[in-house]
Amino acid sequence: MHDLLQKAIAGRRLTPVEGLRLLQSPDLAALGSAADAVCRRLHPEPYRTYNIDRNINYTNICVSGCRFCAFHCKPDAKEGYLLSREELYRKIRETIGLGGDQILLQGGLHPELKLDWYESLLRDIKRSFPEINVHGFSPPEIDHIAQVSQLPVEEVLRRLQAAGLGSLPGGGAEILVDRVRRELSPCKTSTERWLEVCRAWHGLGGRGSATMMFGHLETLAERIEHLERLRQLQDETGGFTAFICWTFQPGQTDLAELPKAGAFEYLKTLAVSRLYLDNFANLQASWITQGMRIGQLALKFGANDFGSLMIEENVVAAAGTRFRTSEAEIRRVIAEAGYTPRRRNVFYRLTD
């Protein structure tokens, strides 16, 4: 254990077997200390960052049927919606009014919306709000748009980029192991397709995040396999800006009987992620699922970024987890952890 931690602290790459040994360890303090050392080596600056954006779900209509999701509606459900332009613009104006410069635009796998609808949506947003970055459409959404439109993924991405897509969120990864994906979300993009969408986006010069939702049907070895697939693609493209992991929220889902992963499991997995993902510059804390105090502690377990103010969030909230905060509280929490709070954009450039 000590030798493996020293290896990671020194910047030498861990193997999957070594990563699994660390993830199996109950020594949370040692893992956290090592992850903090790596984080401080990569980020010796006296500040830690955050940003202001809004998660706008343009639709909740989805044909994926993921067992972990309490947000989606079937196409014929009366609760299904597709946001009007007026409502979308209202949300964007509110975001700008609160100091935001970005929207996280995601929805379900809508069975009828083709590429031209998304192009029109992006052009309208950029025409009305040219200063807003659209961090939009997860890899499964991109793959679905390509299938519905009967077009190659690369063409879909190129046209969305031309219409105003600024960056690609890493949602829909869950666990990048097909055994887990078949049990968790059998109608969703495979591991290889998720990675291929990111690879194509990076090939166009695009940047985006990578994620992991854990604490459900996966094994510890499969968590490491997920990290390994991300690390391999980052070696190849260098297109990921950050990694964000969070725990599955079982409330109100088809997997509600599963025990909820707590702070120990979250902090352990975050720390091992920092030790393993040696080619990722940034790791975000997940206060939205863990609350502000554990989010603050994450800054000592490998995270150099506090994530977003998240003016609006619907998917995690639909499962019954509803943490909210303000910019003032984020700045206070970062300061209490011993750092200067600094705002940044999605590309991790400081904006204050």
Residue 323's contacts (CB-CB under 8 Å, 6 or more residues apart) are 287, 288, 289, 290, 291, 292
The confidence score (pLDDT) of residue 319 equals: 41
DSSP string, 182-199: HHH-TTSPPHHHHHHHHH
Q: Are 134 and 166 in contact (CB under 8 A)?
A: yes
Answer whether residue 299 shows pLDDT above 90: yes
Specify the residue for token string 């196409």.
75
| Token representation of residue 66 | 């993921």
In a domain, residue 348? The reply is no
Q: What are phi and psi of 102, to 5 degrees?
A: -155, 150
In a domain, residue 145? The reply is yes
The confidence score (pLDDT) of residue 62 equals: 84
Three-state SS for 285? coil
Answer whether residue 185 shows pLDDT above 90: no
Q: Which of 74-88, 110-124, 280-294 has the lowest mean pLDDT?
A: 74-88
pLDDT tens figures, 307-318? 988 776 554 444
Whole-number percent of the chain with pLDDT over 90? 76
Mean pLDDT of 104-111: 90
Question: pLDDT: is 314 or 157 the higher one?
Answer: 157
The confidence score (pLDDT) of residue 318 equals: 44
Question: pLDDT: is 236 or 314 the higher one?
Answer: 236
Mean pLDDT of 37-44: 98
- Name the domain count of the chain: 1
In a domain, residue 73? The reply is yes
Range of the domain at 275: 2-343
Q: Which of 22-31, 180-189, 233-242 has the lowest mean pLDDT?
A: 180-189
Whole-number percent of the chain with pLDDT over 70? 96
In a domain, residue 170? The reply is yes
Q: Are 35 and 271 in contact (CB under 8 A)?
A: yes
The confidence score (pLDDT) of residue 181 equals: 94
Specify the residue for token string 């030498």.
12
Specify the residue for token string 């109950």.
26
Element (H, E) at 32: helix 28-42
In a domain, residue 224? The reply is yes
Nearest to 279 by CA among 316, 242, 318, 306: 242
The confidence score (pLDDT) of residue 167 equals: 98
- Taking the C-alpha atoms of residue 293 and residue 234, their distance in angstroms, rounded to an integer, is 31
Three-state SS for 345? coil
Q: State the pTM of this model.
A: 0.93
Please state, in angstroms and as integers, the Cα–Cα distance from residue 257 to each residue in 64, 65, 216, 222, 250, following that order: 21, 18, 10, 21, 7
Which alpha helices (H) appear in 139-286, and where do they start and end? 139-149, 153-163, 178-184, 191-203, 220-237, 263-276
Answer whether residue 251 shows pLDDT above 90: no
In a domain, residue 349? The reply is no
In a domain, residue 124? The reply is yes
pLDDT tens figures, 255-281? 888 888 899 999 999 999 999 999 999
- Taking the C-alpha atoms of residue 32 and residue 228, their distance in angstroms, rounded to an integer, is 20
Please state, in angstroms and as integers, the Cα–Cα distance from residue 239 to each residue in 6, 215, 347, following that order: 28, 26, 11
pLDDT mean across residues, the chain:
92
Mean pLDDT of 42-49: 98
In a domain, residue 350? The reply is no
Q: What is the CATH number of the domain that holds 129?
A: 3.20.20.70
